[in-house]
Amino acid sequence: MSNMSNTPPEEQLTKQELDAWLGNEPVDATTKMALLRTYPILQYFTYDHLPPHLQEASKPCAAIAWRSAEAVLGFHPEVEAGLRKLLEAKDCFVRSQVRR
pTM over 0.85: no
Across the range 30-52, mean pLDDT stands at 93
pLDDT over 50 (residue 1):
no
Buried (b) or exposed (e) across 8-24, using 16+ Cβ within 10 A?
A: eeeeebeeeebeeebeb
Amino acid (1-letter code) at residue 22: L
Q: What's the chain's Rg over C-alpha atoms?
A: 14
Amino acid (1-letter code) at residue 10: E
Per-residue model confidence (pLDDT) at position 12: 62
pLDDT over 70 (residue 90):
yes
pLDDT band at 99 (very low <50, low <70, confident <90, very high): confident
Q: Phi, psi (5° rounding) for residue 13?
A: -75, 140
Per-residue model confidence (pLDDT) at position 68: 93
Per-residue model confidence (pLDDT) at position 18: 59
